[in-house]
Each structure stands twice: as structure tokens, then as C-alpha cells.
Amino acid sequence: MDLEQAMQTFLEESRELLDEMESILLDVEAEQTSSEQLNALFRTMHTIKGSAGLFGLDPIIRFSHQAENLLDQLRDGKLKLDDELVGLLLRCHDHVKLLIQALAAGDSLEVLSDEALEAALLGYLTVPQAMQPPAREAPPPAASRPERWVLSLRFGPDVLRNGLDPSSFIRYLATLGTVEPAQPAAQAEPHAPPPPETAPAHGEARAGRGGESRFIKVEAGKLDSLINLIGELVIAGSAANLIARRSQQPQLVEATLGIANLIEQIRTGTLSMRMVQIGEIFHRFPRVVRDVSRELGKDIQLRIVGAETELDKSMVEKLGDPLLHIVRNAIDHGIEPTEVRQAHGKPAQGKLWLNAYHESGSVVIEVADDGGGLDRGRILAKARERGLLGLDEEPPDNVVFQQIFEAGFSTADQVTNLSGRGVGMDVVRRGIEQLHGNIEIDSEAGQGTTFRIRLPLTLAIIDGFLVEVAASIFVLPLEAVIECIELPAGLPENGVHDCINLRGELLPLLHLDSFFELPPAAALRRNVVVVQYGERKAGLVVDALQGEFQTVIKPLGALFNTLKAISGSTILGTGEVALILDVPSLIQRACRRESERFALPPRADSTPRPGAPLQGNTP
């Protein structure tokens, strides 16, 4: 029996139960409490206590038993789940979570006792002292217990393989009383219900009489290793396909195409195994909003939309900190105090939204609020003061709002526990850029602000589109390619940038050979690859189109960190290295020149208003 594996199972299941408990407590604050919710709350602590008993974890057993007693009175109707009690149960959740974390780290549990919390629990309890959990060293004698219980345990055939020791149940029960042999079968109750069906082994869920649906928990490292191997398989398959085409042997070409099709299916299936719902991190924020808003004395309601949207697990894990900064910033600076909202005719309760959805092969995550919005005048004045923008420069709103992501940028009048030191938003942008994404800001004075994050679906393997520029091969993400057209003949070029009329739409162009300072090639025909990211489009002028290509993304070294137009590299079938172009950066560069060319005159309201609130600072 592998006790270490059983312990890891206990830790993981305890974390899941605690997440469920926190979610229920935060839900019942805004809704009417149901009996199902109360029963689910009781089961979380009851299950953790029972599982802890298998390992003799006395500190967890004692505390969870006290919390279980409180939850038992709650579901029996002896207590009412008001705001104060919800706060106490959340403190109980935090304490058990702290014990679980200490257990996972190998730290002592005895030093983590919280006497103030235990006293608060005892203040709520109305059960007699006899119902308190007895000490393991001195179990009460059997004669003092007027009731006798008959317990029936039936284990599955794989119980030992799953790391559970049946005898541990007996040992744990012996700490609560005297265990006596069961009565013979001829003395059993004549109307006893039939034994339940043997429960499925851990990790297996029954889908119905027609069949079973099995689930296996796989270590993330093993899955990452599999993804890397499939990436190498994609590269090897491309090399084999190239050799087959050059050989001009139809049978060999057909065989390699079949293998390539199978590799693509394996790639798609394996990548889907790494996709998880973004709700995994969204569900952390109801507690954050509750605690921070109460600390600031604000009434804020959080709404979550699109929690089922899937994203690569490696990216989900790295999104927690950037989203935390934005959410706390929206609570502190974005949403006004209650009296200010009422003075402006707005509802006393502020609203905060977390939204996620798929768009053009990307995942879009939005954090929006109905607060006061960003103050363009104050941001512009601070940016000019720090030399980030010229004194005579009058950039558009999106350029001004991006200044809040500069390191040390802050317009707060005072430093608080949450913000004002000018750090935090630069961490947000840096974290998003490391995931090959970008962040945009839409804000309207008095109405609110929306932070919009766009991310690729995965950072491992993508469908690419090969283009040739001055005898060099580049890769574009296929999801960003809208169409390909021939460059109109005789089009005058204005340096690196110019534009064309694409069916009534002004399309800015970016000549990649001039942009990368490559020697021009003597191409008889040049092409325009129309790419899109979000709502923006641009045309990339190339010499030749090479077609689709399964692209294994290889990170670039630290030497290339400053290249904004390159997002990575890949290996072609010939063994050569091709650079993967950063489409959002290229579109931004193509559109910026056109925006500056047709810039509007300075706005009359660019002078900062003293005392106006500003969003843009987090710790």
C-alpha cells in the first residue's frame, strides 16, 4: 500500500472540498439559502474530518469536528445563516486550508491552533459538552454510551491498489468508542435494506447502465512531456513529407500524407487534454471582491460570464496574478464610494464583471466595472510630467490609457494598503506579454472601464501559414489570416507604410522586407496577407505564399526579448529555423502610422481636473 499516494489523494480532495465550501458560502450571501446548500456545507467538513481520521491528523480532526457541529445546527434550523455567520465559516475555511497547506509542506500542525476562532465557534454551539469530540488518549467507556450503532462497510476490489487500508477505519472508530463484533447473519434485522451497490473505485464515475466513463488524474509534468514529444513528431513528420514530395513517388507521398493526418489528430487530441475551463481562476474572485469591498466600505456585486471557456492550463495558472491586480484596482479606484455614486444618480451597489469568450482563434478575457472611468486629463498630465509623452503631443485615448502600465506610474493622492505606489499594472502588462497576449482599455468618464485581454489558445503547437520575404521564411498563425490577395500593380509606397482600398475598407499595409530591413527580392508578383486581431486589420506585403504548416512553437533566447514583432520560432521540414511573427504587434505598428497621419487636433478637455479619481494603481 502506497501511503504517500493516499496522502496526496487526501490533500487534493480536501482542496476541492474547501473550494466547494467557499463557493457555496459566497453564493448564499446573494441568494436565499437552500437545504441542499446547507447539506453540502456539512458534507465538506464531515468528509475532511473522516478522511483525516484515516491518517491520525488530530489537529484537523478536532477543528473540523467543531465546525461540523456548527454546520449540523445550521442545517437543523437551530441557527440562521446571516452575514456574521458566513464570515465565521469563511474563517473556518481559511483555517482548515492553512492546515492542509502546512500538511502538504511537511510543517507541524500543532502550532497553527487559532484560539480566537475556536472560541468564536464555541460561542455559537449549543450542543452539550458530551457531543464534543473526545480525546484520542481517553476514549469514553462503552458503558457510558446508551446507544449502540451498527456500521456496515463494503470496499471495492481495488481498495488496496488505491492506497486505502480498510483496517484504518476500524482503528479510527476505536478512538470514539468500543468496537464489538457484528451479530451473526441469522440475528440481523429481517427488514434490513439490501446492501448498496459496490461504489466505484476512486477516479471512476459511472455514466449509466449503458456504459462507464472513466477519469484518470495525470501529473501535469507527464502531459507536458507528451506535448513536447508530439511537437518533435510534428517536425519529423514535416521532414518526411518534404523528402517524399522531392522523391516524386506517389505511393510514398500518399503514405506520408496519411501519417501527417494521424499526427494532426493526435496533436489535436493531446492539446485538448491540457485545456481547462477558465472558471478555475474566475471562481477565486468572489472571495476577493467580498473581502476587499468590505475593507473599503463599498457594496460591490461580481458577475461571472463565460466561466466554461477553455484555455491551455499552463496559461490559466499564469493568469491569476494579472487578473488579481486588475480586479483589486477596479474595486479600489474604478468603483466610486456609495455616497459618490448616489450623488451622481447611480445605484448604490457597484457592479464588476468577469467575462471570457473565444474570438478569431483567441481567448478574450474582460474585467469591467460601472465606476467613474479613467481620467484622460490626469493621466496625460502625469505622462508628460514624467517625459513619457511630449508636451505638444495629443495622442488618442488608447495611447493615453496605456500609460498606466508604465512602471512606477501613479496619480493617486495618497498611498493605501491596496494601491498608490505605482506598482502592479506594469506587472499586469509584463505577465500578459509573456503569454504572447496583449491588453486593451476602453473607458468612458462616469460610465466605467473595461480591461480586455487577448490570448492565444495554446503556447505549444499551432496551425501556421508560411510566407516568404526576401528569401526568408516566416510563419503567421493561421487563425489570424483572413485572406490573401495580389498587391495592386503600380502602388506608390510611402516608406514602410501605405494603404489600399479593400472593398471599400481602408487597409493599412506593412511591407515586411522594409520593416525587417531585408534586401528586396526580384519577385514578379507580390502578395498581401490580410490579418486580423480583435477589431483591427492590416495587410502584410510578402513575396510568396508557401501554404499551411503545423507549427511547433520554440521559445527564443533572452537575446531576442526586445523584438516586439517576433513571438517565437519553429523548425521547418528542411531543418531550417523560421521566425513566428507577432501579428498583434505588426497590426499595431501598421495602424499607428495611419492614426498619426490622420490625427485629430488637441482636445479641449485635456486639462486635468484637480481631485478627480483615477483607476490604474494596484500593489
Model confidence, pTM: 0.67
Cβ-contact 24, 93 below 8 angstroms: no
The string over 245-255, giving b where at least 16 C-beta atoms fall within 10 Å of a residue's C-beta and e elsewhere, is: eeeeeeeebee
Mean pLDDT of the chain: 80
Can you read off the three cell numbers belonging to residue 386?
Answer: 514624467
What was the pLDDT predicted at 160?
A: 66
- Higher-confidence residue of 414 and 434: namely 434
Average pLDDT value for residue range 173-193:
59
**Residue 115 scores a pLDDT above 90:** no
**Residue 523 scores a pLDDT above 80:** no
* DSSP code per residue over 404-458: GGSTT----SS--SSS-SSBSHHHHHHHHHHTT-EEEEEEETTTEEEEEEEEES-
**Residue 463 scores a pLDDT above 80:** yes
Residue 595 pLDDT level (bands cut at 50, 70, 90):
low
Round to whole Å and give the CA distance between 170 and 342.
Answer: 62
What was the pLDDT predicted at 462?
A: 84
**Residue 118 scores a pLDDT above 70:** yes
What was the pLDDT predicted at 140?
A: 47
For the ranges 137-146, 425-434, 609-618, the one whose mean pLDDT is highest: 425-434
Cβ-contact 43, 21 below 8 angstroms: no
What was the pLDDT predicted at 161?
A: 62
Strands 350-359 and 300-305: parallel
Round to whole Å and give the CA distance between 557 and 55.
Answer: 47
What was the pLDDT predicted at 273?
A: 85
Can you read off the three cell numbers belonging to residue 88?
Answer: 465565521
Predicted confidence (pLDDT) per residue in 536-555, tens digit: 899 999 999 998 888 888 87
What was the pLDDT predicted at 416?
A: 58
DSSP 460: S
What was the pLDDT predicted at 189?
A: 45
The distance from CA 518 to its chain's CA centroid, rounded to whole angstroms, is 40
What was the pLDDT predicted at 569?
A: 87
Average pLDDT value for residue range 357-362:
78
Q: Look at residue 607 and give its three-state secondary structure.
A: coil
Predicted confidence (pLDDT) per residue in 125-174, tens digit: 754 443 444 444 444 444 444 567 777 777 777 666 655 667 767 766 77
DSSP 184: P
**Residue 358 scores a pLDDT above 50:** yes
**Residue 208 scores a pLDDT above 50:** no
Residue 481 pLDDT level (bands cut at 50, 70, 90):
very high
Phi, psi of 460 (to 5 degrees): -105, -70
What was the pLDDT predicted at 168?
A: 67
Mean pLDDT check: name the lowest of 129-138, 173-182, 260-269, 340-349. Answer: 129-138
Round to whole Å and give the CA distance between 446 and 375.
Answer: 10
Average pLDDT value for residue range 522-545:
87
335 burial via Cβ count (<10 Å: 0-12, 13-18, 19+) = buried
